[in-house]
Amino acid sequence: MIRPSFSLISYVLIFLLFVPFHPCLAQKIPFLTDDDIRMLSNELSGDRAFEHIRVLSQWHRDSGMEGFFNAADYVMQAAHEAGLENVHFIEQTLGHPNYTARSAELWMVEPVEVKLADMADHPVYLADGSHTADVTAELVWIGDAKDDSLTGLDVVGKIVLTNRSPGGAVQNAVWGKGALGVVSYQTSESRNPMDVPDQIAWSRIPLTPPEGKKGTFAFILPPRKGELLKKILQTDQMQDYFATGKRTKGGRIVLKAKVVTEIGKEPGRTGFVEGWIHGSKYHDQQIIITAHLQEEKSSANDDGSGCANILEIARTFNKLIKEGKMPRPLRDIRFWWTDEISSEYKYFQDFPDEPKKFLANIHQDMVGANQRMGSRVQHLIFAPHSRTSYLDAIFESIGNYLILTNNAFLAASRAGGYPRPFTRPLYSTRGTRDGYNARFVPYFNSSDHMCFVEGIIGVPAVATINWDDPYIHSSDDDLYQIDQTQLKRNAFLMGAMAYVLAFADEKTVPLLAGETFAQGEKRLANDLQAAIRVEEGFRKDSITIVSLNGGLKDARLLMEQGILREIRALNSIQVFTRKDREAVSMIEGFIARMQSKATGLMGDLELYQTEMLRNKLPEPQIDSSEIEASKRVPVNPSVLRTYFENRGKINFRGNLHGLMHDEVFNFVDGKRSYYDIYKGVRAEQLAAGSWYYGNVTLEDVVGLLNAAIEAKALTLK
């Protein structure tokens, strides 16, 4: 092993102690100079990004729809204007026929004529996947549309009304019982209908009917309208139900539905837009900046905001390069406007050598929320433990800068000499003057970054999203709830990250190593706290030997896996060394220091145990199931397409949280055993908490991996 220079290590440790985390320097970003910060702040524009959203929001742009391709054409034009090179559309196959709805109206014709829905007012009135229809039929209330609710009901030749899934109603009432179509007023994301009485949820029904059945349709109404239809069906009173000026008797409703759609041949086509800023030196460490183009009509925040922001980052970088304020990046930067998640998975399979050239993924999703509307919080999503890296340190550094400089702090406000209320704010011309309500959160997926952190791909990725969002996937995700100021702040966050990555080299290694090491110290402190909380259960008088043994194992594996995670994070910096002797030595020095911490952390844990129980606890005992799990080592297949195709064939029902289910696969590397993988995923779950990630058991991990072996998604070493 090459030993590090003592003076260099000492310098970095002193730097860590007194620079990055000193309160007086909270308005600094270690990876950027003040001039860099001003350069990016001055040029990035939330107002310019907003204008892109204004255009994109006019189209209903689900996968493969005419609106999707219209949006892609616009993005290609805007990307050209932003100065990107090699802008093109990467054609991909769609798993179903191309589909576009042309018109759809729903009328109540009895007991009084009322137009209930018109997709010209908003396309989400019609569920995607609906077929052409022209029917007039009686309406029947079917509750939740499950088999029990349909028992004894005659729905043949009728339209059914439900407050649950339109897809479920199609399966059970239309294809199962002979109904003609569906009217649903289910809310999006399981929202309480009392909170969103006039919101129309974006929904889908199966496009392709079962053999021997015909395609059908489903209209989606807001809860207020749906409940009123239900009320009419369940009463015989005379009322002016829809405030038409005409009192009518309830008890019976007749609807007229007219739908015109176009359905192409299978397979359909989709794809994504790509543009480049070509680097000057390194072409095997590409930075991939993503946002997804496909969503429902408007979808201003999800993810029109991300699409607009990466256009703005592209424009800013190219303008700064042209003006000589910013050198051409050392690395290629690729901008992707995708068909969410599916684009990446298809691309990796079609071009399996491409991910080997990727350095990192930076993903923007839902970055324009007006945060005073719905009390939305900008979530800054760390990578999962399987992919913790230098990227998290850069992310946290820049994110904390934004949080500290764009929120009010009493001490700073009264210190004198600082602006009020924020110390170094980013505002847009037409945006709010609100704070940046943001927090860092443990990993979750559900967007494009999940494709990159896949174990078989192995690319570090971080992302943004806002939550809880009362507007997502509905008629309310529109321009009125977008804030240009938040667009600018999030563009700065991701643009600054891309800027740092674009120019990082062996000279950046000491800073990267120092920041990653220091961030790891905080993660390990959280692990220790979680381990102590596990052991607090030992105080119970009724504790059994079995539960004591399990608790000891959990506490120990938290510290063991924490150290391994931090060593992986430090090792990830090797990509910047280019085998520079001093840079490699620096990383090895930090890794050695991290390894030495294991004894101390275990000692802290044992001290707590001893003080708590006034007695040294026995060593935890490994059982037969753990021994057996230690003997099995899963291996990823050599062909990406084989892996992804067979992942979809895995048949396993356990109790793993969906994110922990995915993490099991992310930890597969051909070296870790079933038991090693279990410990890594279990530690991640314990560190975040069961409320966040559920409960990970060895039984579930073994069961999932065995099912993957059976499906040939993995093999055994």
Report the top-level CATH class of 31-96+269-504. Answer: alpha beta
Of 453, 394, 401, which is closest to residue 573 (Cα–Cα)? 394
Separation between Cα atoms, residue 625 and residue 640, nearest integer Å: 31
Between CA 4 and CA 11, with CA 8 as vertex, the angle to 5 degrees is: 140
Give the predicted TM-score (pTM) of the model. Answer: 0.94
- pLDDT at residue 650 in the model: 96
Separation between Cα atoms, residue 62 and residue 579, nearest integer Å: 46
Please say whether the beta carbons of 492 and 41 come within 8 A.
yes
Of 262, 229, 273, 287, which is closest to residue 108 (Cα–Cα)? 229
Q: Is 241 helix (H, G, I), strand (E, B) or coil?
A: coil
Options 2.60.120.620, 3.20.20.140, 3.10.20.600, 3.50.30.30; CATH of 99-263: 3.50.30.30
Q: Strands 133-141 and 331-338, how do they pair?
A: unpaired
Cis bond leading into 425, ω under 30°?
Answer: no
- pLDDT at residue 175 in the model: 97
Domain borders along the chain are 31-96+269-504, 99-263, 631-717
User: Could you tell me which residues are beta bridge partners of residue 381?
Assistant: 441, 463
Predicted confidence (pLDDT) per residue in 334-363, tens digit: 999 999 999 999 999 999 999 999 999 999
What beta strand segments (E) does 537-659 contain? Answer: 634-635
Using CA atoms, how far residue 621 sits from 212, 444, 560, 566, 601, in Å, is 59, 33, 16, 26, 20
Separation between Cα atoms, residue 706 and residue 700, nearest integer Å: 10
- pLDDT at residue 611 in the model: 74
Length of the chain measured in residues: 717
Sign of CA dihedral 696, 697, 698, 700: negative
Q: For the beta carbon of residue 488, count every other beta carbon within 10 angstroms.
A: 28
Provide block-wise average pLDDT over 10 residues at a time, the chain (717 residues). Answer: 42 44 63 97 98 98 97 98 98 96 97 97 98 98 93 96 97 97 96 96 96 97 97 93 92 97 95 98 97 96 97 98 98 98 97 97 98 94 98 97 94 81 95 97 96 97 96 97 98 98 96 96 94 70 56 90 98 94 95 92 81 70 93 96 94 96 97 98 96 97 98 96
Tell me the Ramachandran region of residue 298: left when phi exceeds 0, alpha when psi lies from -120 to 50, beta otherwise: left
What beta strand segments (E) does 550-636 contain? Answer: 634-635
Q: Strands 377-381 and 438-441, how do they pair?
A: parallel
Please say whether the beta carbons of 437 and 371 come within 8 A.
yes
Q: Half-sphere exposure of residue 654, counting CA atoms within 13 Å on the CB side?
A: 24
Q: Is 355 helix (H, G, I), strand (E, B) or coil?
A: helix
Q: In what order do the strands lie in the sheet with 377-381?
A: 85-94, 268-277, 331-338, 282-292, 358-364, 461-467, 377-381, 438-441
Separation between Cα atoms, residue 591 and residue 142, nearest integer Å: 63
Tell me the Ramachandran region of residue 605: left when phi exceeds 0, alpha when psi lies from -120 to 50, beta otherwise: alpha
Of 586, 394, 455, 416, which is closest to residue 509 (Cα–Cα)? 586
